[in-house]
Structure 1
Amino acid sequence: MSTATRGTLAAGDRGRAAGAVGFDYVRRAGWAADERLRFDPAGTERWPRDHHPVQTVTVHHTALAVAPDPAESMRSVYRLHAVENGWGDIGYHLVIDPAGTVYEGRFAGGEPSAFGITPGPEGARCVTAGHVGGHNAGNIGVCLLGDFTESGPSDPARKRLVEVLRTLCSLAGVDPRETVAYANPVTGATARVRGVAMHRDWPGDTSCPGEAFAAGFEPLRDSL
């Protein structure tokens, strides 16, 4: 695994999303992820990686306060998912803090972050994470640090989110506004959502990514 602390995910003008140029992100080493949490005492990876063609991108919030050092919040969410939930890793592919800094989430097993396999002209495959119950394979999870129940994301976070979503959609050939007939390639579970969806758009009982954020989500998606 790379010990570099910074990375870049670039899409150029490829794909259907206009204006996608890419973004920088903090690698797992940069936010001091304890990689030992991913393995059991025998050294076996607790959450084996698999990759599937990207069908959708889903937006979340952590619904938690953000620490003065956002990297601390990253480590807290990682421990919550990997240890307390017993998953073996963080459930989001990418995370954005209030200053607009992007962090690498789920270990993808290679470059670039979230994919682990360089996307080609035919599209992209992402590592399976854990952010929408029953509908994770082929679904990229982007999470904003913070609770957006009463107020929405900061301007820097919102701006970076747009850049991240544009880049991901370009790399994967996803139309953010098109309705997608999602089908889980592992379990067969299905759902109809937009190419870029909120967590609350999927089956299940959740208010994520918060009432205040949800109220302004349609214009954000239309800007992609």
Structure 2
Amino acid sequence: MRQSYMGAAPVALVAGLAFLLAFYGIGDQKATEIPTESRTYSVNFQPTDPDPTVPRRETDDFNMVAVTWPDSHAHLSVTVLVRTRSVHTGTWSKWLPLEDLSPDSEGGAARGGSHPVWTGKSDGVEARVLRNRRSAIQGGLRLDLIDVGANIASMHPAVSKQTAQGAETSARPAQSGTASRWNYDGALRPETQPPITSRGGWDAQESLSREQPRYVSEHGIRAVVIHHTAESNDYSCADAPKIIRGIHHYHVKQLGWKDIGYNFLVDKCGVIYEGRKGGVDQPVHGAHTRGFNSQTVGVAVLGTHAHSPVSHNVLTSLARLASWKLFPNGVDPASQVVLNAISTGSNYDGKRWGEGERIRVPAVLGHRHAYNTECPGEALSEQLETVRSWASGPVTGLTVHSVTQFSDSANEDRGNVAVEWRANTPVPLISRVELISDGEVIATTHGTASYLTAQLTEGVHDIHLRAIHQSGKAASATPVRVVIEKKKASPADDASPQPLLLQGPGLVDHRWWDLSGLPRG
């Protein structure tokens, strides 16, 4: 029988859901209104303690942990480490540092706090505080343990429907007189919006965030800020909706924010989730980067990326979001922009600025560029140049990979060719690919295809490919010379692809396939 340390009466009731209890106890009452339940333990460290610790404690089940303190304007002055015990295996995790969130990210916040860490289903916790000689321990430190319950809808995330007007995502309440909403009419087409899982797809509890969303001024988005959520990477992508629900609950119930702080979140599989409500195609005012929320979009990658780079799929999703959000505002994702600092601050590199100062930053920047934090981690920070390049265009690494001639009995004076290509830029960022012969476009296909087909007359042709990035920027592959020979008389010869006489450095290999059943471009 498992021994329990729970049972002390609650000290305070928080909105009918969170119970503030002495560290040695927790009540038995369960919340039934929503699928997440937050329990808050009071962890009182004395400023004179040289290196206090919280001994191992058994708890009721939880799957997310954070540390909070009363002053929402203050940084975390010490290092807090936690480890937890798995319900399934009974083993204790490694020590996990709790990384500081930006103070003042949300006006009117009730408490300061760390990033919440996803632990998986756990029933025990241990905490340790480390400090240097000059740092005093903040009073009122407490561990917040969040039990995020399951919900059927979270097992089947709903991707927002894309229409000519944008995505069907969160409800858009009536605007106050000071709010501003807008729709762009720029060069990007609606289909450049990436697939986005709506708030309903991760079971957002809308009753937690009753205030109407705020919007920045028209064309006011100048940059995209990349974050990580500073938690374990040992989660399954099926758990991502539950993790986001936990972050939402923590931001609102423990920190006193109006809603989840980030505009978008991306899991390690590259799935994009709608964050703060107000419409994914609108310039929603988030709470993620102190002093710059009114000029930026905040995108958080689930996990910690100090040493672990993100996957190709995550980089692709970040690039698609940056391209979609910045170009309509007249900002190239590969450019530098100037932001107006709403408050004093400093960044990870030691640069300082005063309120009202203008600072120059990349249009796609890590949180550390605008705040003194390690976020989004060293490994992901080093990958942001790839995100900028993919988001900005043009298409890179475009090459003709192979050219094949195949037969067509109805056109004896023409040669049917299939041209396969390769590119370094992810295909979702490529709008279309054109095949050009002797200066004329003879075939066009979507960027997600890997080849296109066309007909060429007998003789010598100089052909090349041109790829159009979703930004409208064009890139061309090295031209290839193709010789179309007269069709052979033998039926047996007609049935197989015909080798072409090719000249040019663009071909990686010659793989001749039977493409007679393929559609023509």
For residue 246 of structure 2, what is the amino acid of its counterpart?
S
Change (3 A) 1:128 1:190: farther
- Residue 50 of structure 1 corresponds to which residue in structure 2? 215
- The residue matched to 1:137 in structure 2 has which SS? helix
Contact 2:306/2:378 (8 A) holds in 1: yes
Contact 2:213/2:285 (8 A) holds in 1: no
For residue 315 of structure 2, what is the amino acid of its counterpart?
R
Which of 346, 360, 370 aligns to 1:192? It is 360
Q: What percentage of aligned pairs have identical amino acids?
A: 30
For residue 199 of structure 1, what is the amino acid of its counterpart?
H
Offset at residue 170 of structure 1 (A): 2.3
For residue 6 of structure 1, what is the amino acid of its counterpart?
V
CA distance in 2, matches of 1:86, 1:213: 29
- Residue 121 of structure 1 corresponds to which residue in structure 2? none
For residue 36 of structure 1, what is the amino acid of its counterpart?
S
Q: Which runs of 5+ in 1 are unaligned?
A: 40-44, 116-125
CA distance in 2, matches of 1:156, 1:79: 27
For residue 65 of structure 1, what is the amino acid of its counterpart?
S
Change (3 A) 1:107 1:155: same
- Residue 165 of structure 1 corresponds to which residue in structure 2? 322
Structure possessing the higher radius of gyration over alpha carbons:
2
1:164-183 equivalences in 2 (<5 Å):
164-183=321-340
- The residue matched to 1:63 in structure 2 has which SS? coil
Kindly indicate whether residue 306 of structure 2 is the aligned counterpart of residue 143 of structure 1.
no
CA distance in 2, matches of 1:48, 1:23: 22
- Residue 378 of structure 2 corresponds to which residue in structure 1? 211
Offset at residue 56 of structure 1 (A): 1.3
- Residue 228 of structure 2 corresponds to which residue in structure 1? 61
- Residue 120 of structure 1 corresponds to which residue in structure 2? none
CA distance in 2, matches of 1:131, 1:189: 19
Contact 1:94/1:103 (8 A) holds in 2: yes
Offset at residue 76 of structure 1 (A): 1.2
CA distance in 1, matches of 2:361, 2:187: 23
Kindly indicate whether residue 274 of structure 2 is the aligned counterpart of residue 104 of structure 1.
yes
- The residue matched to 1:215 in structure 2 has which SS? helix
Tell me which protein shows more strand as a share of its residues.
2
CA distance in 2, matches of 1:5, 1:163: 19
Kindly indicate whether residue 187 of structure 2 is the aligned counterpart of residue 14 of structure 1.
yes
- Residue 74 of structure 2 corresponds to which residue in structure 1? none
C-alpha RMSD of matched pairs (Å): 2.7
Offset at residue 158 of structure 1 (A): 1.5
CA distance in 2, matches of 1:185, 1:200: 17
For residue 159 of structure 2, what is the amino acid of its counterpart?
R
For residue 192 of structure 1, what is the amino acid of its counterpart?
R
CA distance in 1, matches of 2:323, 2:185: 10
Offset at residue 93 of structure 1 (A): 0.6
Q: Could you tell me the TM-score, scaled by structure 2's length?
A: 0.35
Kindly indicate whether residue 261 of structure 2 is the aligned counterpart of residue 91 of structure 1.
yes
Offset at residue 152 of structure 1 (A): 0.9
Which of 241, 257, 276 aligns to 1:71? It is 241
- The residue matched to 1:180 in structure 2 has which SS? strand
Contact 1:94/1:102 (8 A) holds in 2: yes
Offset at residue 96 of structure 1 (A): 0.7
Change (3 A) 1:158 1:86: same
CA distance in 1, matches of 2:185, 2:272: 18
Contact 1:55/1:195 (8 A) holds in 2: yes
- The residue matched to 1:6 in structure 2 has which SS? coil
Change (3 A) 1:213 1:141: same
CA distance in 2, matches of 1:25, 1:88: 22
Contact 1:59/1:198 (8 A) holds in 2: yes
- Residue 118 of structure 1 corresponds to which residue in structure 2? none
For residue 97 of structure 1, what is the amino acid of its counterpart?
D
Offset at residue 13 of structure 1 (A): 8.1
Offset at residue 180 of structure 1 (A): 1.3
Q: Which runs of 5+ in 2 are unaligned?
A: 1-156, 168-183, 344-354, 392-521
Offset at residue 50 of structure 1 (A): 3.3
Offset at residue 173 of structure 1 (A): 2.2
CA distance in 2, matches of 1:178, 1:159: 18
CA distance in 2, matches of 1:171, 1:90: 25
Aligned residues: 197
Which of 189, 200, 203 aligns to 1:32? It is 203
Q: Which has the higher contact order (CA 8 A, sep 6+)?
A: 1
CA distance in 1, matches of 2:186, 2:266: 23
CA distance in 2, matches of 1:156, 1:63: 19
Contact 1:100/1:156 (8 A) holds in 2: yes
- Residue 152 of structure 1 corresponds to which residue in structure 2? 309
- Residue 42 of structure 1 corresponds to which residue in structure 2? none
Offset at residue 196 of structure 1 (A): 1.4
Offset at residue 75 of structure 1 (A): 0.6
- Moved beyond 3 Å, runs of 4+: 8-13, 184-190
